[in-house]
Structure 1
Amino acid sequence: MTRSVIGWVQAAPLALVLAGFLVAPIVMIVIVSFWGATEFSIYPAFQFDNYAFLFGSEVVWRVIGATFKYAAITWALTLVIGFTVAYYLAFHIRSQTVQIALFLVCTIPFWTSNIIRMISWIPFLGRNGIANSALIDWGVIDAPLEWLLYSDFSVILAFVHLYTLFMVVPIFNTMMRIDRSLIEAARDGGASGLQILRHVIIPLTKPGIMIGTIFVVTLVMGDFVTVRFMSGSQRANVGRLISNDIGLLQYPSAAATAVVLLATVLIVIGILLRFVNIRKEL
């Protein structure tokens, strides 16, 4: 048996798993997206009504815009926070034991479910919550701030809370692989701390940044539970459109929206992968 045949035999079990649990469901979603639906049933067909309604609705375009807005703002905030945390852990903490301990502290929120973490913000951000009460007591405001909860602010805050760790981990992993002699050489050459950060650390950290970006963007664009809870059902994203269609038994419309979302995410990932080769990090 030749080496190539042995390789195919070894890869066959994983290929079958991927085909059965990844490719086949996606193919079914694409097929169903062309079907028709009545108020109480769906029927096989090949029509573009679902896509025509999707791209012809002004409401849908606003929801798509809101989805990109949430993803962009969350990405920017998680990048700043994640890079800062990873930089501190990688370059300012010398003890590996302390690094591990602090890293575990960052994972503490993940010991509970996402819903519990979201609900915990409600008594803090509410009209009579801790934040408003403290600001009133300090004399900063005269009346409670209505936009702290059930708004875009609360949605983005929850996203940042939920997904910052997905930015911290790959950036930290990449920073730990940076040869410290490069930083010493730059410092000996007269480079300032900002120059070292800009010309040495950030370029060498790009693979980690891209991996974290892919994680955060894809998770935010597909998340609908966070938008529902933290906006009080007053905001929507593409994920919520899919959830609402499923609740109304409009599976073809939900499938069409899912196909568009999947295609959009794949395009975004494809664009990101053109900026850096992340295979070295995998």
Structure 2
Amino acid sequence: MAPTAPGEKTGRAPGRRLAGNRHLVGWLEALPLTVILLTFLVLPIITIVIVSFWQATEFSIIPAFSFENYEFLFGSSVAWRVFGATFRYAAIAWVFCLVIGFTVAYYLAFHIRSQTMQVALFLLCTIPFWTSNIIRMISWIPFLGRNGIANQTLIDLGLIDAPLEWLLYSDFSVILAFVHLYTLFMVVPIFNTMMRIDKSLIEAARDNGATGFQTLRHVIIPLTKPGIMIGTIFVVTLVMGDFITVRFMSGSQRANVGRLISNDIGLLQYPSAAATAVVLLCTVLITIGILLRFVDIRKEL
């Protein structure tokens, strides 16, 4: 083997040092974000998991390892019904958010030719988010109430003889508020995905004799799946963790897992609340994991 020239050794050493410096700089740049995530995300979750195995009385919390919180949770028929109601709210709200969000995004992406008009209409959709969620949610109460605008309008039109009681403080009002609050979380990712679709693919489908429905089914929807999945993750996780909407819009007559946790915290039953939160977190993570098995959304991120 020919001996290595001195120039080659001196040439490799600076290259290795440069690569090592870049590697170190990369770790240093990621360090602040890593510290923030560990401090404000990972550490609180670990704390909640630990507290979920503690015991509690009416007056104190006992840091002793026990499965009684989980045994009570999984053995309670009330808890099972509450989890069922939570999934029902999430599923129904997701369907309506998907239909409305897909329709709005499709209109903005394919029927509005001017980019300026697209931006203007998109910003118009975001205007309600300039106010608090609670204010937007409570604004439905005078509209849906027994003597509200909706009932009075229906009575004046002669469509009903008496006010409809189920418009407010019911599952209908809860779902309506969820759809109102979270539809934009479906519109944004779907619109973003549709804007990336090559318009020549749609023109090619039309040139080959495809109808509008066939183009939608075989071209647009398959290419929009990543955006649909991202919107689904947003809507499902937000609905499953929302308890304020259920409390106000149902008149405290309905419950979901978030309300279960809120009630335990109000009663100072932190271990029980922590156990419920852990189960809810695992449920949401499993749901997201199942969704990610169908579509690879990494190319959209």
TM-score by length of 1: 0.99
Aligned partner of residue 277 in structure 1, secondary structure: coil
Q: How does 1:143-222 map to 2 (within 5 A)?
A: 143-222=162-241
Q: Displacement, 1:14?
A: 1.3
Aligned to 1:83: 102
- Quote the Cα distance in structure 2 between the aligned partners of 1:71 and 1:166: 14
Q: Displacement, 1:205?
A: 0.2
TM-score by length of 2: 0.92
Aligned mate of 1:21, from 40, 49, 55? 40
Letter in 2 for 1:88: Y
Any gaps of 5 or more consecutive residues in structure 1?
Answer: none
Percentage of matched positions with identical amino acids: 84
Structure 1 segments (4+ residues) deviating >2 Å? 3-10
Q: Displacement, 1:137?
A: 1.1
Aligned to 1:119: 138
What number of residue pairs does the alignment pair up? 282
Aligned partner of residue 46 in structure 1, secondary structure: coil
Cα shift readout 1:195-229 (whole Å, capped 9, x = no counterpart): 00000000000000000000000000000000000
Q: Displacement, 1:68?
A: 0.1
- Quote the Cα distance in structure 1 between the aligned partners of 2:149 and 2:181: 21
Aligned to 1:11: 30
- Quote the Cα distance in structure 1 between the aligned partners of 2:202 and 2:63: 62
Of stretches 71-80 and 129-138 in structure 1, the one that deviates more from structure 2 is 129-138
Aligned partner of residue 169 in structure 1, secondary structure: helix
Q: How does 1:50-89 map to 2 (within 5 A)?
A: 50-89=69-108
Cα shift readout 1:2-24 (whole Å, capped 9, x = no counterpart): 14443323222211111111000
- Quote the Cα distance in structure 2 between the aligned partners of 1:266 and 1:68: 14
Any gaps of 5 or more consecutive residues in structure 2?
Answer: 1-16
| RMSD (CA atoms) | 0.8
- Quote the Cα distance in structure 2 between the aligned partners of 1:149 and 1:194: 37
- Quote the Cα distance in structure 1 between the aligned partners of 2:261 and 2:74: 15
